[in-house]
Amino acid sequence: MRLTALCLLIALAAPTVTSAASPLARAMTEVRADRWEAAWAQAAPAGPVARDIVTWRWLRAGQGEFADYLDFIARNPDWPGLARLRAEGEAKIPADAHPDRVIAYFRGAAPTTGAGALRLVQAHVARGEMAEARALALRAWRTLPLSEAAQEALLARFRDHLAEHHVARLDEMLWQGHFVSARRMLPLVPAGWQALAEARIALREDAPGVDTLIARVPAALVNDPGLAHERFGWRQRKERTADAMALIEERSASAAALGKPGEWAGARRAFVRQLLREGDPARAYRMAARHHLGGGADFADLEFLAGFIALRFLNKPDAALGHFRTLETGVESPISLSRAGYWQGRALEAMGRPQEAKAAYSKAGAHQTTYYGLLAAERAGLAMDPALVGSETYPDWRDAPWANGSVLRAALLFHEAGERALTEMFLTHLAETAGPKGQRQLAGLALRLGEHHVALRIAKVAAGQGNVMMAAYFPVTDLARARHPVPTELVKAIARRESEFDPAAVSPAGARGLMQVMPGTAEAMAGRLGMTYSSRALTSDPAYNARLGSAYLAHLVETFGPNPVLVAAAYNAGPNRARAWVTEYGDPRSAGVDVVDWIELIPFRETRNYVMRVTESLPVYRARLSGRTEPIRLSQELKAR
Q: Is 416 exposed, middle or buried, given 0-12, 13-18 or 19+ CB atoms closer than 10 A?
A: buried
Please name which of 111, 116, 79 lies closest in space to residue 97, comparing C-alpha atoms. Answer: 116
Please name which of 48, 47, 52, 54 lies closest in space to residue 31, comparing C-alpha atoms. Answer: 54
Query: Strand, helix or coil at 2?
Result: coil
Identify the sign of the CA torsion 66, 69, 70, 71.
Answer: positive
Whole-angstrom CA distances from 501 to 51, 355, 453, 481, 554 are 30, 42, 5, 15, 20
Strand partners, 512: 506, 517
Distance CA 54, CA 3 (A): 24
Residues 6+ positions from 338 with CB-CB distance below 8 Å: 364, 365, 367, 370, 371, 372, 373, 376
Residue 416 bears catalytic tag: no
Identify the sign of the CA torsion 499, 505, 507, 513.
Answer: positive
Query: Strand, helix or coil at 521?
Result: helix
Query: Strand, helix or coil at 639?
Result: coil
Catalytic residue among 498, 500, 600, 616: 498
Distance CA 83, CA 73 (A): 11
Q: Give me Rg for the CA atoms of the chain.
A: 28
Residues 6+ positions from 562 with CB-CB distance below 8 Å: 640, 641
Distance CA 111, CA 121 (A): 10
Distance CA 281, CA 265 (A): 18
Residue type, 308: F
| Alpha-helical runs (H) found in 351-498 | 354-364, 371-380, 406-416, 420-433, 435-448, 452-464, 470-473, 488-498
The catalytic residue positions are 498
